[in-house]
A and B are shown apart, each in its own frame.
Chain A
Amino acid sequence: MLKEQITDTAPSEAPRETFVLNLGPQHPATHGVLRVKLTMDGEFVTRAEPICGYIHRMQEKMGENRSYAQFLPNTSRIDYLSAMMYTHAFVGVVERAAKLQVPPRAEYIRVITSELNRISSHLVWWGAFLLDLGGFTPLLYAFDDREKILDLLEAITGARLTYAYFRIGGLYNDVDQAFIDGSRAFVSHMRPRLKMYRELVTDNIILRKRLIGIGPVSGEMCRKYGASGPVIRGSGIPYDVRKSEPYSAYPDFDFEIPCFTEGDSMARYLVRLEEIAQSLRIIEQALDRLPAGPVMAEKVPRVLKLPAGDYCYATEAARGRFMVRLVSDNKEIPYRVKLRTPCLSNLSLFEEASQGMLLPDALAFMGSLDLVIPDIDR
């Protein structure tokens, strides 16, 4: 509901004044240490200014004083919910610059683990978002499903969240039959669960009233702010790095880019749920056609010196476009590592888009952007 609709019925002599409301840096709705300085006119937001940097760690400086292999674990700590795709972009940029050929089996396993990671990330968002909206039960279902993914990935990578499984030139180790069987079992487990989620949650009238028409973001606004991922795809633009700049083994698979034109919180919600179904499709195809062979490139130099110049590599992370921009001066350590993260761009449109919204709607809108704060602050 917009302010104009309510002020029509308000007494004309009502005092007009605004006050400043501080949201965060410690607040359950901000999922981390994000502070938003809100200027309020009653229940309505007149200005929402996000204040970032509370967990800034200067990752880019760390990249400038250690070797490529040593910096790799840092990249999984930027967005800790979709670490696979972040490490993928980093090993990808080094492989691109060093002209390393990654074996097909390694690329397929990268796709499988990345898509499992995408599902687990979307499940965390789904549970936490509904928790923000006042529904506690879905979180327990989401974490139950996500636990199966974390167990699968833990068995092959040794980590539950901050994976350093992708290595420059390939993978840390090969997958075993238990992982392949477990992934197949997960795919057949998850499909009926998605149907149940749709019936129990997506079709729920209270949820729909909270999300439909709330926080509309146009495709043009996404473009001006560089928003990507489910945010731009919920605004009618089918932009996905897996299709627009195909990388790894993604061209081998048949999958669709879910896209909704409404641009509201419901559209972003539906994009993510539909993406889980598409990820299951990709995993199934990759498991069916998993090639045999090594998982590490031959002759990866122990000391890597990349040819001078700049190199970019982008991946489609769970929240959008993640890109590493690397500048090399032919030394063992990078000259410059720029980490282009999706949440920073996705949050940057919040100030413009949240103007005039009711505070509870603004929080629902913020939840639909799926923010991970370390990804903004780096």
Chain B
Amino acid sequence: MNPPQSNPTPTNPPAEKAQAAPAVVVTVTLPPAGAELLARSTLPFRAVEHSLKGYHLDATVTPDQVAAAAAELDREGFALDTITGVDWLAESQMEVSYDYFHPLTGLRAVVRSRTARENAEFPTISTVFPGATWHERETHDFFGIGFSGHPNLAPFLLPEDATYHPLRKDFVP
């Protein structure tokens, strides 16, 4: 039905052509509290469109900065949302992402950090947020990531004699 000139390469379906198109520039609209925080924060935050990602501010820091980042967000009135790891096996890196939410303004901030995969260790933020104790224990359970300064990194959800870390991508049951 289509004239031939409208579909010069029949092997290339329209869906793939759409994917190859250049990425649309996204305009980020931060709530006023987010823009103010972005302006005064010492953290390398970048603004993110919440409707696309589910958070407003995103920062990548080095492992030795995560506790200082937690302390700054604590001063700003953020609450600890969760802590979790991601195993980047192909790049031989471990990532830990710290999620925060602001109970009054509703802002969401993510602080993430990466280190070498073997013997990955991050400083604990449980001195700033006591609620981090359990999240860090869980991250240690699942990924084998250490948290220096943590009061007790005993298995949290896994059995008390567990020596394996099931969310590592090379884990074999």
Contact = CB atoms under 8 A, between A and B. Distances in A.
Interface of A: 52-53, 56, 58, 60-61, 64, 93, 96, 99, 219, 222-228, 232, 237, 239, 243-245, 309-314, 321, 323, 325, 327, 335-336, 338, 340, 344-345, 348-349, 352, 377-378
A interface majority secondary structure: mixed
Nearest to A376: B157
Interface stretch (B39-47, B61-69, B78-86, B115-123): B78-86
A22 to B, nearest CB: 15
7 contacts: A52-B157, A225-B130, A225-B131, A239-B103, A325-B99, A336-B84, A377-B157
Contacts of B155: 53
B55 A312 contact: yes
A336 B104 CA distance: 29
Given A96-B52, A312-B53, A53 B158 contact: yes
Contacts of A338: 82, 84
Nearest to B138: A344
Contact of A340 (B74, B81, B103): B81
A175 B99 CA distance: 37
B167 interface: yes
A243 B106 contact: yes
A52 B160 CA distance: 10
B26 to A, nearest CB: 11
Interface in B122-170: 129-131, 133-134, 142, 155-159, 166-167
Given A58-B166, A237-B104, A327 B81 contact: no
User: In this complex, which of A61, A223, A309 has the most chain B Cβ atoms within 10 angstroms of its Cβ?
Assistant: A223
B134 A348 contact: yes
Nearest to B53: A311
A378 to B, nearest CB: 7
A321 B51 CA distance: 17
Contact of A348 (B84, B87, B131): B131
Contacts of B52: 96, 99
Nearest to A61: B166
Interface residues of B, number: 38
A55 B79 CA distance: 27
Contacts of A227: 131
Contacts of B159: 53
B40 to A, nearest CB: 20
B172 to A, nearest CB: 12
A378 B142 CA distance: 13
A223 B82 contact: no
Given A237-B104, A239-B103, A312-B108, A352 B130 contact: yes
Contact of A245 (B50, B87, B130, B167): B50
A222 B157 contact: no
B131 A349 contact: yes
A336 B99 CA distance: 15
Contact of B82 (A58, A224, A323, A352): A323
B134 A344 contact: yes
A226 B82 contact: yes
A325 B82 contact: yes
A51 to B, nearest CB: 9
Contacts of B129: 224-226
Contacts of B104: 237, 239
B99 A323 contact: yes
Across the A-B interface, give the 5 residue pairs with the lowest CB-CB distance, nearest first.
A244-B106, A312-B54, A225-B131, A53-B157, A340-B82
A60 B51 CA distance: 24
A150 to B, nearest CB: 30
B86 A336 contact: yes
Contact of B157 (A310, A348, A378): A378
A60 B156 contact: no
B82 A222 contact: no
Nearest to A309: B53
Interface in B68-118: 74, 77-82, 84, 86-87, 97, 99, 101, 103-106, 108, 110
Contacts of A99: 52
B84 A325 contact: yes
A108 to B, nearest CB: 19
Contacts of A377: 157
A243 to B, nearest CB: 7
Contacts of A64: 167
B15 to A, nearest CB: 9
A128 B142 CA distance: 33
